[in-house]
């Protein structure tokens, strides 16, 4: 499976490189435009409510918190509501179409798809419910995984402070078990969001689908995950080198620092479409293998029924 994953990752990147890069740029521009609109709405709302939100005004006031008036607090509440609405709209009309497009174009090698058509068609759909489900899934996964990870980290940190050898060993084992369980759950549930978007499932159903897809395939899932991390680190090495060199004041002020910084950024940017492909390709590979196994099971069942008949 992993060999097919590597071959297909280069195949899809070569076929859709320009499309993926363009879609990322389009999504970023739409997001930036929406943020500007949100800021303008915030300024207009402040003007209508008569709230002075300028930093200079707040700093020059002699009272400690004179700006925390009922009017200002109401303005903050309205802005938080606007931000929440903006987040849902961004997920529904930017993130969802992009994820759906990336899943679709990394599905069939024989069929050449039109990414822009998929992207803008999904953008036209009313995806507010999908955005709610995506947010719900993210919160649920965080509630499941975060406590286990936090307990594991705390146990490992506190183990060094325990004088009793047996108690220290027990706490350390609990901490290590918590970290291992966190990694295991992350790998088993990492395709829940893709399943939710691809098959329009519910939150719980998408988690079950991810568990079903990764059952018996943990070797491939772990290998693909580690590979994506290694590739990302490799392309970030130039940025790390520039960051280390930037600590030297003489080099930081030189023109060479600017050139190297831009080169490192461009190099990472060039690799972004490949990162996108290796993020969504494993989901489709697991889906195809799962369908193949189900087909074989049905054929065996039909053969058994025929023999018994």
What's the half-sphere exposure (Cβ side, CA atoms, 13 Å) at 232? 11
Q: What is the pLDDT of residue 209?
A: 95
Please provide the size of the chain in residues.
Answer: 309
Query: Distance between CA 7 and CA 205 in Å, rounded?
Result: 31
Query: Distance between CA 12 and CA 19 in Å, rounded?
Result: 11
All structural domains of the chain with their residue ranges: 6-126, 141-215, 232-309
Burial string for 228-245 (b: 16+ CB within 10 Å, else e) reads beeeeeebeebbeebeee
pTM (two decimals): 0.82
Q: What is the pLDDT of residue 50?
A: 77
DSSP letter at 66 equals T
Radius of gyration of the CA atoms of the chain, in A: 25
Torsion angle, alpha carbons of 73, 132, 126, 13, to 10: 110
Q: What is the pLDDT of residue 121?
A: 92
First-to-last alpha carbon distance for the chain, in angstroms, is 37
Backbone conformation region of residue 200, classed left if phi is above 0, alpha if psi is from -120 to 50, else beta: left
List of residues 6+ apart from 11 with CB closer than 8 A: 109
Q: How far is CA 196 from CA 131, 132, 209, in A?
A: 10, 11, 9
Contact 51, 75 (CB under 8 A): yes
Contact 223, 2 (CB under 8 A): yes
Contact 217, 287 (CB under 8 A): no
Query: Distance between CA 139 and CA 239 in Å, rounded?
Result: 32
Query: Distance between CA 133 and CA 297 in Å, rounded?
Result: 32
Output 87-90 pairs: Cβ under 8 A, ≥24 positions apart: 87/135, 88/128, 88/131, 88/132, 88/135, 89/34, 89/131, 90/31, 90/34
Give me the tens of pLDDT residue by residue for the chain, a chain 309 residues long. 888 899 999 999 999 999 999 999 999 999 999 999 999 998 888 888 777 666 545 444 445 455 556 777 788 888 899 999 999 999 999 999 999 999 999 998 888 889 999 999 998 887 888 999 999 999 999 999 999 999 999 999 888 888 788 888 888 999 999 999 999 999 999 999 999 999 989 999 999 999 999 999 999 999 999 999 999 999 888 877 777 766 666 666 666 667 777 888 888 889 999 999 999 999 999 998 887 655 554 554 454 444 444
Q: What is the pLDDT of residue 54?
A: 63
Backbone conformation region of residue 50, classed left if phi is above 0, alpha if psi is from -120 to 50, else beta: left
Query: Distance between CA 220 and CA 207 in Å, rounded?
Result: 19
Q: Which regions of 147-241 does DSSP assign to beta strands (E)?
A: none
């Amino acid at each position: 499976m992993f060999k097919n994953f590597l071959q297909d990752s280069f195949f899809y990147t070569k076929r859709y490189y320009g499309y993926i890069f363009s879609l990322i740029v389009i999504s970023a521009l739409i997001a930036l435009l929406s943020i500007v609109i949100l800021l303008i709405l915030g300024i207009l709302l402040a003007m209508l409510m008569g709230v002075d939100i300028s930093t200079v005004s707040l700093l020059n006031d002699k009272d400690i918190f004179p700006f925390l008036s009922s009017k200002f607090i109401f303005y903050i509440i309205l802005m938080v509501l606007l931000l929440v609405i903006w987040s849902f709209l961004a997920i529904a009309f930017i993130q969802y179409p992009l994820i759906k497009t990336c899943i679709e174009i990394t599905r069939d090698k024989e069929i050449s798809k039109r990414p822009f058509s998929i992207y803008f068609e999904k953008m036209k759909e009313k995806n507010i419910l999908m955005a709610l489900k995506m947010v719900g899934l993210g919160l649920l996964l965080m509630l499941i995984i975060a406590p286990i990870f936090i307990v594991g980290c705390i146990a490992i940190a506190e183990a060094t402070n325990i004088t009793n050898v047996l108690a220290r060993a027990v706490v350390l084992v609990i901490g290590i078990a918590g970290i291992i369980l966190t990694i295991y759950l992350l790998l088993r549930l990492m395709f829940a969001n893709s399943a939710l978007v691809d098959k329009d499932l519910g939150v719980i159903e998408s988690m079950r689908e991810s568990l079903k897809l990764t059952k018996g395939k943990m070797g491939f899932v772990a290998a693909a995950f580690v590979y994506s991390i290694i590739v990302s680190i490799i392309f970030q090495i130039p940025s790390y080198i520039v960051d280390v060199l930037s600590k030297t004041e003489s080099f930081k002020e030189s023109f060479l620092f600017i050139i190297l910084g831009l080169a490192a950024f461009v190099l990472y940017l060039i690799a972004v479409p490949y990162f996108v492909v290796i993020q969504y390709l494993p989901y489709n590979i697991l889906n195809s293998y799962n369908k193949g196994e189900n087909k074989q099971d049905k054929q065996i069942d039909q053969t058994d029924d025929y023999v018994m008949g």
